[in-house]
Amino acid sequence: MASLLPLLCLCVAAAHLAEARDAFPTEGPTGTAWGFHGQSPPSGQPSPALDNWEEASEWTSWFNVDHPGGDGDFESLAAIRFYYGPARVCPQPLALEARTTDWALPATVGERVHLNPTRGFWCLNREQPRGRRCSNYHVRFRCPLEAAWGTWGPWGPCSGSCGPGRRSRRRSCPVEDKCPGRPLEAQKCVRPQCPGCNPDTCGCPNHVLLGVVVTPSGRPLPGARVFLQGRPGTVATSNAHGNFRVPGICASSRANISAQVDGFSAGVAQAQANGSVSAVVTVVLKKLEKPYLMKHPESRVREAGQNVTFCCKAAGTPTPKKYSWFHNGTLLNRRELRYGAQLELRGLRPDQAGTYHCKAWNDAGTIRSAAAWLTVLAPGQPACDPQPLEHLIKLPDDCGQPDGSPAYLDVGRCPDVRCPGPLVSGPRCGDSSTRCCSVRRLQSQAVRCSGYVLPVKVVAECGCQKCLPSRALVRGRVVAADSGEPLRFARILRGHEPIGFTSYQGDFTIEVPPSPERLVLTFLDPSGEFVDAVRVLPFDPWGTGVYHEVKAMRKRVPVILDATQSNRIPLGELRDEAPMGELVLPPGAFRFANGRPYLGAVEARVTFVDPRDLASVAAAPSDLLFLDHDGELTPLHTYGMFSVDLRATSSGEQLQAGPLAVRVAAGQIHMAGHAEALRLWSLDPSTGLWEEEGRFQREAPTGPRVRREERVFLVGNVEVRERRLFNLDVPERRRCFVKVRVYANDKFTPSEQVEGAVVTLVNLEPAPGFSANPRAWGRFDSAVTGPNGACLPAFCHEEQPDAYTALVTATLGGEELEPAPSRPRPLPAAVGVTQPYLDRLDYRRTDHEDPAFKRNGFRINMAKPRPGNPAEARGPVYPWRSLRECQEAPLTDSHFRFARVEADRYEYNVVPFRESAPASWTSDFLAWWPNPQEFRACFLKVRIQGPQEYMVRARSAGGIHPRTQGQLYGLRDARSVRDPQQPSTSAACVEFKCSGMLFDQQLADRTLVTITPQGSCRRTAINTLLHDYLARHPPPVPTDDPIAFSMLAPLDPLGHNYGVYTVTDQSPRLAKEIAIGRCFDGSSDGFSREMKADAGTAVTFQCQEPPTGRPSLFQRLLESPASALGDIRQEMGEVARAQARATGPLRTRQGRAWQ
């Protein structure tokens, strides 16, 4: 049965596409390339620029969900939202553009198509000229930019002539129906008391009000206090079934009834007559939920005298109404500034610069926002220095120094700062036209290398220009923690909102909405075999794509319980270890969601995350944080987490239960004070925060005397209702931050820091010598490296350096990074930490004790810096209140380091571009990435038969575009990786510039790509399908040079059958990492870090070692091309015969791409 699940899921996806196709009419509006509301430019015209559009709007990325086949090509908006997520396309697109994957308009290829911005695109084969079928199209949509409301108008008069009433005010939107939120706001008001009847003087003695108090799921709430509007005091209390009765209430009075229960938000409902002398009412109460922030204030840059508005928005139950604002930690005067969720400051002064944050309150608690920084520039002070900063790039190896050391060139960069926003009349939460410091002018230079001249463009001038929209992306894969199998078609929730599904391979891509500090996602397994995976995934708000691998925990094997008997389920079942505790389910504890008792057989699956198993940390839910009474996020130290899944065996319906007893063995909690502070918590999946359910008490002895060997338990109670994830945690106040940086290689060059790497720190129990188990973990945290590294929270101790230890690892796009070595002893220059602090931290790489271990992390003692000690005042460990010092620490301060293992990969772009900084993109014809909002990565797989690994170079130049023909775009070098199954075979995945439109979107270029291995190598085979494709898509490139392979790169994303791997993404780094993973695997949808040299190869070379003392052919070509070519002319006959032997059989084997 389980084997049918993937097929069933594929059928569901296919049915979704089929429904989308059926939704398209056979007749309807047609077009050549456009679908607009109100305008139709002629076919063949390029996309209008953003600045020329009548309405503030922008284009989305390109989408392609269907390949032509059957009836034609279909790109429905419904299917795009299904596969890419609903947030990728706005609710009401303004226009739609369609192009073939060769970037041609439909009119250019002579095809009749249909398009509608609100429904999508379709092309029908039966409508095309005879003998022609629909091309493969991709589409994009024009979406309006978010409009902003004007200021609120004055309050209107209070309704009614006496007693309570309501008044309202309005605001206007400059673009009708485009502003988020409501145009009308109302509030209560009071006029003089109405004369006549009141509850004390009149009523209906023979009438009765019957009511019930319930939760949203229908569960009755006993003990609710019931109130009648206008009558003081409690008029009734609900019984065990939630019912109450109030006599004397007139049936036709439509009285307002409110109810209150501890732990629930107050509810109000209006009574309705159900007879001549009776009325009924149902009051629904929601459980109190602490506030959580939907919008944090954002940093701003202003000139003195301008205005600024900071915005804060919180949700919760009840909805928070009270806000407070702080400047540099000092509470601002509410009456003076008249603020609420928005803080507006007019006529800014220099002394108003600094940090601003808000706090929001409701009945359940408070929450504090992240701090926003306000910069106030003096008159005439430039926000962007026109003189670029230093930015060194490494030149190719054959452009190095005479002594053989690598050469670096300063190409300049503009500082990553914001410029003052526009001067607007009304308060706005966001800048409508945000400007950034970016490249204003480039200057061409030339660098002389060995045998050739390398062109380069350097930044000559910076200036304030419109910011490119930054989209924070999170991409990853969800797999089973125990087997690595993907979670196929798992439903993805952000909060309570469904936003998409994982793919057949478990992959997902999420675009982070603006202004959140935490991205909380829940992955729901459709098979029900895995615990709901709630994860808080760190991301880079500046737009660098981040890759995460999410481990899902398989549920335990179910046990069948008798609901009428007492049952016990152990928590933790490690081999040779006693359980951490047990869950006790008393008889009669089970019920349905509506409160009705259940007495049948129960299928129970209790899954425990045991911190004594270090491997379990990867599958632990959330990030172990809770809100303290000051509204600040505070870490927890865990002693175990468990999920509870209870179902009726007959119907499979989910059950609730409680109160249940949780018994924890006190002997498993060794740290001083933790047994007394242990609490029980439940996870709120919408916020990813833990909320306290109750405390533990030491269990009283049951007999007259307790033997020494008997276990002592701590006992707490829990109710299993809507929430199913629980935690045994202790709040911990001894906290620090750890500074970590990631570099492109183990040279640790300052200009080669890497952004977008995920650094994870796992806090371990005290080290050996203390009375705790050193194998257990207590908490974990992750952070993403930015321009200045990352700061990770951790537990620490000032007096006892080894009281806490930490294990730190880092990954980039799924690739494990390598820290500095520690054998035979750690060196301060390599680790990045000065002495004597380095010795106190006791830095040890994971292979320190055993060189056979993986070198993917390091352990340190979490020794808190001692006050007054200058050697420990500048990192790498910072006190909890010194987060800003950690974030802004200069490179010269101490920090821990990771480096990429794949140091034998080199990239050079003629037009410099920092992939982690979108503002560094320049609109130049030679730009490697022509579109800063969508990045297409292309790789070619080169197979090499030879005794060692070889460096392979790809040279990308302009092919057919008149503005770039013959000019260099860039160089890529990649070292081949040996196939573990074939000792004499390796392969290289080498990047080339994709063919396609250049930045002006006017004309496509087919990149001229030349592949040359280093060494004495000769080409022996070309992928048959690739060879035939290039022959069918002229102009051809001569391939008679046996030491290289050249082609005009295809416009189509061909796939692994051709040895070409293409991935399009909104992040260049993610696009490249995914393409490399597919290239290693030799498939179009797989991912591997182990090279499979015989799968999906484009071209094959035979290499051999040159005679001793003789330079390689690659080097000879660089130094003396004419002499090297003369040497090989005499070998051309032999090479031609080798090619004939290799190519001949291939033409008769359609399923093979090489010999």
pLDDT in tens, 817-868: 999 999 888 999 999 999 999 999 999 998 887 777 778 899 999 999 998 8
What pLDDT was estimated at residue 12? 43
Q: Where are the alpha helices (DSSP H) in 659-758?
A: 674-677
Query: Rounded to an integer, what is the distance from CA 886 to the centroid of its chain?
Result: 23
d(CA 734, CA 753): 31
| Token digits of residue 760 | 């994870």
Strand-pair partners of 243: 212
Backbone angles phi, psi at 455, to 5 degrees: -80, 150
d(CA 783, CA 770): 29
Three-class SS of 28-46: CCEECCEEECCCCCCCCCC
- Helix, strand or coil for residue 204? coil
d(CA 85, CA 474): 13
What pLDDT was estimated at residue 667? 81
Residue among 496, 512, 516 nearest 369 (CA): 516
d(CA 823, CA 850): 10
Largest CA distance in the chain: 119
What pLDDT was estimated at residue 201? 40
What pLDDT was estimated at residue 191? 65
d(CA 437, CA 466): 9
Q: Where are the alpha helices (DSSP H) in 23-105?
A: 77-84
Residue among 836, 820, 824, 1053 nearest 937 (CA): 1053
d(CA 789, CA 785): 5
Strand-pair partners of 123: 73
Radius of gyration for the alpha carbons in the chain, expressed in angstroms and rounded: 34
Strand-pair partners of 153: none
Residue position matching structure tokens 């590294």: 789
Contact criterion met (CB below 8 Å) for 307 and 282 = no
d(CA 1067, CA 1076): 14
What pLDDT was estimated at residue 162? 57
Contact criterion met (CB below 8 Å) for 1017 and 1101 = yes
Contact criterion met (CB below 8 Å) for 756 and 806 = no
CB neighbourhood size of 769 (10 A):
10
Residue among 522, 569, 518 nearest 723 (CA): 522
Torsion angle in degrees (nearest 10) through CA of 5, 7, 8, 11? 160
d(CA 810, CA 789): 12
Q: Are strands 300-303 and 372-377 parallel, antiparallel or unpaired?
A: parallel
Give the end-to-end CA distance of the chain in Å, rounded to a whole number: 41
Query: Rounded to an integer, what is the distance from CA 728 to the centroid of its chain?
Result: 28
| Token digits of residue 935 | 């990045």
Q: Is the dihedral of CA 572, 573, 576, 582 positive or negative?
A: positive
Q: Are strands 735-743 and 896-899 parallel, antiparallel or unpaired?
A: parallel
Could you say which residues of the chain have pLDDT below 70?
1-55, 67-69, 83, 146-148, 160-164, 174-178, 180, 191-203, 402-405, 421-433, 469-470, 515, 543-544, 700-711, 766-775, 902-903, 918-919, 933, 1039, 1106-1155
Burial class (CB within 10 angstroms; exposed 0-12, middle 13-18, buried 19+) of 263: exposed
- Helix, strand or coil for residue 984? coil
- Helix, strand or coil for residue 901? coil
What pLDDT was estimated at residue 76? 87
* Prediction pTM value: 0.72
Q: Is the dihedral of CA 875, 878, 882, 884 positive or negative?
A: positive
What pLDDT was estimated at residue 1143? 42
Burial class (CB within 10 angstroms; exposed 0-12, middle 13-18, buried 19+) of 442: buried
Q: What is the pLDDT of residues 575-623, one digit of tens each?
A: 778 888 899 999 999 988 888 899 999 999 999 998 888 888 888 888 8
d(CA 819, CA 439): 34
| Token digits of residue 593 | 């969601």
Residue position matching structure tokens 């359940």: 364
Contact criterion met (CB below 8 Å) for 860 and 783 = no
Helices then strands, each counted (H, E), the chain: 13, 76
d(CA 895, CA 739): 5
Backbone angles phi, psi at 676, to 5 degrees: -75, -25
Q: Is the dihedral of CA 755, 758, 764, 768 positive or negative?
A: negative
Strand-pair partners of 643: 607, 725
Residue position matching structure tokens 């008393």: 586
